[in-house]
Structure 1
Amino acid sequence: MDLYGLRTRDASSVVTLDTSVTPIRSLKMLQVVGNGTFEQNISIPEIQAQSFVVVDALTDRGANTYSPAAWYSPGTLKLRQPGTATWQVMILSQGGEPFASSGSYGIRTRNNNIATQIDSINNTLSIRYSGAFNLLVAGGGGAPDIVGDVYNAWPAPITTYERPLIFLNGTDYMMVGNFRVIGSPGNWTGFTVSNRAHPNHGSIWTQPMRIKWFCASYQADTSPIGQYGVSVKDANSNRLFASTMNIALLNNQPTANAFVTAGAPITGTGYYASSQQMAWTGNWADYVLANALFSVTNVVQTTQPYRVNFGGFLPGNRGTLQMYCENFDGINAVLANGRTTFAARPMRPI
């Protein structure tokens, strides 16, 4: 099989960029404004059949930071209860769409059916920060295990207008919620997430959840690039991309793009959490995007306007992404269906 594209290595012969195996997703970012209706349809021609769309908040509302439920089809984005806020819309390509006409500075490669484009419009999603933490329910463990919420502060803020994307992966069981990114446009400083382990999931719920994470952004890395690889600049010599960046691989995706009502709900006196599931990749190396999935849902017409979404992976299972949504009266439970998410992993170990 003939290969067409680009491959670079560093001084240690480690591959830093390979367009034969890594589709660098083209990206378009824009803002949309809610019109206050229950459901709002927005025409966005750039959404194509192979696109991923993520709708994210631009403001930090504390514990009530939410992203609206979103559905999309070619050319159209549907938001449920967007209010009158401004929302960030990110359109990511799977690499099969035609090249976009977006300027004279950058890289275009075609490798069989993979189209890679890097320029000032089609930015690359690269990993800026990463780490790991342990979450534990009250009454067990000790340092460095964390009971309740965890806050990860970054060494320096992410200065993009849009929120950076946070990806999570558990070594096994992972059940988290109340997610939010801390900061504001141009000054994102960290993220927080809470432990939502539950006894319905077996004895493992009392054990530490060992969770890895990385923060991916479209902010170009300005650190020295050395003598090996490739660097892309725009007409004003601003760096758009360098192969020293650790790219977030986006080429291993679940076959489904929606949740269905399945699995046992979590119930109790005055408590109900509906259960939804979506087929996942089956690969333990894949992280899940947390931004719009594990934040709360806004239901403005009820006495419980903000409802917690929580979920992750059940013990020993990477074939299913498990989600719950709290609704204390158990009536008209909100579903996770339509919440936008996708899988990613680092190109190089972190």
Structure 2
Amino acid sequence: MVDDEGVKVMGFKSAFVLALLLLATTMSGCLGGGSDSSDLPGEDDPFNVPTWDIADWWLYTFSTPTFSDDTTRLVVAEDDAEGDTAYMLAISNQVEARRHAVLNHNPFLGRITHDNLSAFENGEPQPVFQFPFQKGDGWTFSLFGLDWTANVLEVHIETNGVTRNRIAVITASADDGSSLAYIFDESAGFLRTLIWTDPSGVEQLTIQLATFGAGHEGEVWFIRAGDIFDKEWDNNGAPNGEIEDSFFVSGHPSAGDYDEMIYWLVGEMGGGQSSGSLTLRDHADLTPIFEEWTAGDKTSELGQAPYPSGEYTLTGTQTGDSYIHLIVAGGISFSWTL
């Protein structure tokens, strides 16, 4: 049984999540779309799964506390993947496709199922949505390495006097205290907003729709990635420090050899005598990464290297207030011309 105080807390949380999501959608009038039909379903009617066409697209901004914001256009590249049961969502820029592959912060890439617009995690479709759904419905899924219990909290009808559109506000909770709050936009046929908050209240990921459309033309990319290495070195004002590490690169666990290695390298140096360096060598003594930083430098770099499998070694130095972070992923590239 939940006492009166518990009811107040849960009510406050629901109101806060709703206010937060509605604030995030104050620019919704700029999105376009909607219907001028008086037969638009009402708040109590179910949301049915939309049908996507090749070259449909959505422009999203992704925000995390660790990496700088990036704005990316997701494009439907195929509609008959997984034995004609899924779409393939790709990215309209190859550099952004590499960034999303190595940072691995966007679950809505690659295969998206026809039946529920389910994203894949660890090879299994995860129903972030479960169509048809309506206010009060609930379901479970896994995402970001967590198991979630979702509930359709609210349904709203938006109108600008000419067109009308429905949105569904969905919340989900995990056993560790993490929360998800997200909006399905019926006009866009996809996600409008998603906010993932960890147990300490830090927003680990925010996804915000800017606009959407149909008929994208040009080349699009999807990179199937595999995590290889992720480590931080924080000297935190200590005397001189040495970096020595290594990792072994084989192939993707289910898809064969990688085409390339992709890395994200961050260096942040304090004042005074702070400095740092990092070198990556392969077994043939080639150096795909060689970077040096001096006092006051703050850099982030996306790069790629040819993929000869084998062992790689890392060496480096740190002096004073020196922070270095290296993420390495293997990538298998796919591209389409629409």
TM-score clears 0.5: no
Bigger share in helix: 2
Bigger share in strand: 2
What TM-score, normalized by structure 1, do the two folds share? 0.28
What TM-score, normalized by structure 2, do the two folds share? 0.29
Larger radius of gyration: 2
